Amino acid sequence: MYWTLELATNLEDAPWPATKDELIDYAVRSGAPMEVIENLQEIEDDGEVYDTIEDIWPDYPSKDDFFFDEDEY
């Protein structure tokens, strides 16, 4: 399983919190790339509910990771 920023952005509008099956269903319905669906299928299914993409991909960059000053614009 590998995640990239491009793949992870396909789940930004997912119905959080969600289970693995709900995320797979969302990815299929929203037309996400097959890599996203394959990554979700590789998650161990222990019935866990995921609150955000960070629960799936802990290295997902947050707004704090970018050096963009919103006050300038």
pLDDT digit string (tens) for 26-38?
999 999 999 999 9
Query: Tokens 């299928």 — which residue?
Result: 41
Beta bridge partners of 50: 18
How many residues are recorded in the chain? 73
User: What's the distance, CA 71 to chain centroid?
Assistant: 27
3-state secondary structure of 33: coil
Each residue's pLDDT tens digit, 46-68: 889 999 999 998 888 765 555 55
pTM score, whole prediction = 0.81
